[in-house]
Structure 1
Amino acid sequence: MSNVLGYDQVAVFADAKAADYAALSDRIWDMPELAFEEFRSVAEHIEIMEKEGFHITRNIAGIETAFIAEWGQAGPVIGFLGEFDALAGLSQDADTLEAATATPGANGHGCHHNLLGAASLLAAVALRDAVAAAGVQAKIRYYGCPAEEEGSGKTFMARAGAFDDLDAAFCWHPASFNAVMSSSTLAVVDVNARFTGRSAHAAMAPHVGRSALDAVELMNVGINYMREHMPSDARIHYAITDAGGKAANVVQARAEGTYVIRAPELSELTTLLKRVEKIAQGAALMTETTVETTVGSAMANIVPNRTLESAMYQNLKRCGPPPYDAEDFAYADRMRQSALSEEDIIASAKSFGGDPDFPRSLHDDILPFPETPGLLFGSTDVGDVSWIAPTAQCLMATVAIGTPFHAWQTVAQGKRPAAHKAMIVAAKVMAATGADVISDPAMLKQAKDELKKRTRGQDYLTLIPESLRSQ
């Protein structure tokens, strides 16, 4: 047996099984399922991992569509994070250049989680094959993580301790540029404010009524005034989820708003949450209503890990960008000409740190590794994992530059050969970085020390209360 374990070894095993996992991603594309309902998708993933000899643990955190596939008895515990949930209302025919579907209003993979889960699965299997061939010790895990789009699946898994003994975690995300992500994200919490008042005839006896709808409106006014007095990189979004009814001549006895609060740090988020709750109480006091505030979901900010990210960047350079061919570029050219605007291209480049003037329609290059971590203004439940174990992730170009995610254009490209090529590169890069961690105990120690330094010794904390279940 060889004691060599690195990029060359895992790449051979990934290439040997690449076609099977590309086919898996297509099957998942064909069965788009929403948060916590990914039963068929999970069954497809589990069937493959059982055939590969991985031990399956189901119902992680009491979630039917959360599972862990594990191989190995001892050594560093290396985890790969997979997702497979789709988005509502994004049904779209594949390979088209216009919005078209045979099933209007159905679900669709508008964020390419069909590719995300399949590539992470391949990374776990390729690393396992390389570890077995090299005769070294390691535990390899694939985490089947539901409900990233809506539901914070990893947050519930983290709260249940699913990642507590993990030494290092790897993941990726489909994008329009190829890069290693070295950015934090915004921590986020969703809070519902449910007001209860007293109904009355709005003309005959308005003084008898106590308007819950007035309370929601006053709460929104209070939050708007607070925006001037909170960190500039924090965010609050809202929606009136229950206006109490449609009759204007009735004083509304119930009304509800949902508020999404984001901040770069968990400590800042906790402070903002308390202030929002106080505004809700003030709105109730002004209207003589009562209010109940409840947390619906929450996600921590990503803690960058430059140690693992640097190793991942070296593996990405070793692998190179996806090997797109002439037909890949031709289709991407047609997509840009027919369905993407200049504004789309600029927004895409800004989102992923790329160049809007890149001369080709597919990014067949690699973005430079940033000198310092940045900040993305979105949120992801990968952040919760990154507080518990050193975590690194890459971005791979599965779509033409300018493609808006969470849109039909992304769904249309989800089964393209270019997307398959990108997911295979992602699998190789993740698996190779896992191999580096197994082969180099000093790297693992450095990554763990960095995590402690970046979190300033704070323990992982979720804002989701223990009473709140995932479904």
Structure 2
Amino acid sequence: MRNSEEIWDLVDSKKAAFEALADRVWGMPEIAYTENRSCQEHTRMLEEEGFRVTSNVAGIPTAVMGEAGEGGPVIAILGEYDALPGLSQEAGVAEYKPIPGTGHGHGCGHNLLGSAALLAATAVKDYLQANGIAGRVRYYGCPAEEGGAAKGFMVRAGAFDDVDIAISWHPAAFSGVRDAKSLANTRIDFTFSGRASHAAASPELGRSALDAVELMNVGANYMREHMPSTARLHYALLDAGGIAPNVVQSKATVRYLVRGKDLTDLNALVKRVRKIAEGAALMTETTVTAKVVSAVSNLVGNEPLERVMHDNFMRLGPPDFDEADKAFAREIRKTMTADDIAAAFRSAGLPVDRDLALCDRIIPFEIKGERMFGSTDVGDVSWVVPTVQAEGATYAIGTPGHSWQLTAQGKMPAAHKGMVHTAKVMAGTAIDALLDETLIPRAKAEHAARLKETPYVSPLPADVDPPIEMSKVA
């Protein structure tokens, strides 16, 4: 890009307001589809910055979109702001110390994710205005990444139909282009119905829904040996049938999360899980119904965009962490295991350096770490729009994802430095796409080639609506 310093200066000029936004969202942790205050904070910032705001995107009350600019290509920058249950933690404390309240916490850094994405979009807006360049930048405030598949529902509703490229990021231990690896997944609630009876006086008259759930789980566990090594299977009891052991449970519900390396593998695995549920119902003389809650696709990479993003990282260099940042990172590291630390280096494709507590490098483009066995609803965006993601160093190397340690670091100076650093990379990538007339066509050509053999089909059944109430169960 010919004007790196200009776009970086635009990011720096407003970073304080967006660091404050990240901290406010950290302080109001809201889980999937309940992010009312967090969405309001992002909406207010969009309005203050002069974006044209669309609320209730795809019929989701906590999804918002802000657009700025006129004509030209449409650049989407994706943000998130949902938290996780059970990860409440006091900020800046290197010991487990939950905050009284809901028990929720930003243990995946989405308070930073949304704020940095909106900061990048704001800088691009200001750059377009200052230089009279045709083009539109959109910030998409996306809820419920943690299990709710909101972006998948937004894709299905056509929210990205006219977007040329999409840019996003995620807080991480290292800085660099995020490898486009993730698992497709689906969440399905299996509800068994039986017949209640007195567990002592007439147990023969009862048909236990809880027995059916337990038998299903046994069957699923036996299946683990006979499924692809890239697949994953998890479950959680949503309704165990009550608290009275002297009553045969007439209803019980278990939620299954099924993951496969792509949609083809996922669909085959889901069929097997459904058969296990039917078998459990047959064995217990109960009935079973299955309801899909959400589903996401695996990620599709885009090398032209990834190389341009890497160039931005290399021009910018690693985050400028100081000795105070490193000292707190070392304190946090004392709560981790040697395996935690080694796993972080392996996931980045780097040799283990147990003395390195905070990132001091950009991950080389050619280095690919171990496969990421998580999932993200960015995957569905990547199937319909050429998409690139960054990883931005915001926490101590070795910090487990979805942990209290990550929540504890979410308001620290190092987190702020990492989110601003990544906002510069995302903004720079967006400006490159607008200034280089060949980049977007090249990105679209590669995207079309990747999808030629396997066109996109949404993993969400047509009759499934956004699960706005899903967190009430949780």
Query: Does residue 57 of structure 1 match 2:54?
Result: yes
- 1:17 is aligned to 14
Deviation by residue 1:91-149 (Cα, 9 ceiling, x = unmatched): 22222222224525532211111111111011101112222222221110000001112
What letter is aligned with 1:449?
A
Match of 1:245 among 220, 227, 242: 242
Match of 1:128 among 109, 125, 129: 125
Per the alignment, in what secondary structure is the counterpart of residue 375 of structure 1? coil
> Structure 1's 292 and 328: CA in aligned 2 closer, same or farther, altered over 3 A?
same
Partners of 1:296 and 1:179 lie apart in 2 by 33
Q: Is the 8 A contact 1:182 1:306 kept in 2?
A: no
1:42-441 residue pairs with structure 2 within 5 A?
A: 42-103=39-100, 106-337=103-334, 339-357=335-353, 359-370=355-366, 375-441=371-437
Partners of 1:10 and 1:124 lie apart in 2 by 11
The 10-residue stretch of structure 1 (11-20 or 51-60) with the greater mean CA deviation from structure 2: 11-20
Deviation at 1:7, TM superposition (A): 2.6
Partners of 1:427 and 1:190 lie apart in 2 by 32
> Structure 1's 334 and 204: CA in aligned 2 closer, same or farther, altered over 3 A?
closer
Match of 1:27 among 17, 21, 24: 24
What letter is aligned with 2:378?
V
Partners of 1:313 and 1:169 lie apart in 2 by 15
What letter is aligned with 1:43?
Q
Deviation at 1:378, TM superposition (A): 0.3
Partners of 2:56 and 2:251 lie apart in 1 by 36
* Structure 2 alignment gaps of length 5 or more: 469-474
- 2:471 is aligned to none
Deviation at 1:20, TM superposition (A): 1.8
Partners of 2:8 and 2:65 lie apart in 1 by 23
Deviation at 1:276, TM superposition (A): 1.5
What letter is aligned with 1:80?
I
Q: Is the 8 A contact 1:244 1:254 kept in 2?
A: yes
What letter is aligned with 2:22?
S
Partners of 1:327 and 1:95 lie apart in 2 by 12
Deviation at 1:301, TM superposition (A): 0.8
Partners of 1:110 and 1:464 lie apart in 2 by 30
Deviation by residue 1:402-424 (Cα, 9 ceiling, x = unmatched): 22232222122111111111111
- 1:454 is aligned to 450
Q: Is the 8 A contact 1:28 1:41 kept in 2?
A: yes
TM-score for both structures, normalised by structure 2? 0.93
Q: Is the 8 A contact 1:183 1:374 kept in 2?
A: no
Partners of 2:158 and 2:309 lie apart in 1 by 26
> Structure 1's 31 and 256: CA in aligned 2 closer, same or farther, altered over 3 A?
closer
Per the alignment, in what secondary structure is the counterpart of residue 183 of structure 1? coil
Deviation at 1:286, TM superposition (A): 2.6
Structure 1 stretches of 4+ with a deviation exceeding 4 A read: 371-374
Q: Is the 8 A contact 1:261 1:272 kept in 2?
A: yes
Partners of 1:199 and 1:101 lie apart in 2 by 40
Aligned length: 467
Per the alignment, in what secondary structure is the counterpart of residue 70 of structure 2? coil
Deviation at 1:58, TM superposition (A): 0.2
Deviation at 1:158, TM superposition (A): 1.5
Per the alignment, in what secondary structure is the counterpart of residue 241 of structure 1? strand
Partners of 1:238 and 1:12 lie apart in 2 by 47
Q: Is the 8 A contact 2:349 2:367 kept in 1?
A: no
The 10-residue stretch of structure 1 (246-255 or 72-81) with the greater mean CA deviation from structure 2: 246-255
Q: Is the 8 A contact 1:388 1:460 kept in 2?
A: no
Q: Is the 8 A contact 1:81 1:170 kept in 2?
A: yes
Aligned-residue sequence identity (percent) comes to: 51
What letter is aligned with 2:254?
G
Partners of 2:407 and 2:234 lie apart in 1 by 26
Partners of 2:254 and 2:31 lie apart in 1 by 23
TM-score for both structures, normalised by structure 1? 0.94
Deviation at 1:21, TM superposition (A): 1.4
Deviation at 1:401, TM superposition (A): 1.1
Partners of 1:207 and 1:293 lie apart in 2 by 27
The 10-residue stretch of structure 1 (106-115 or 209-218) with the greater mean CA deviation from structure 2: 209-218
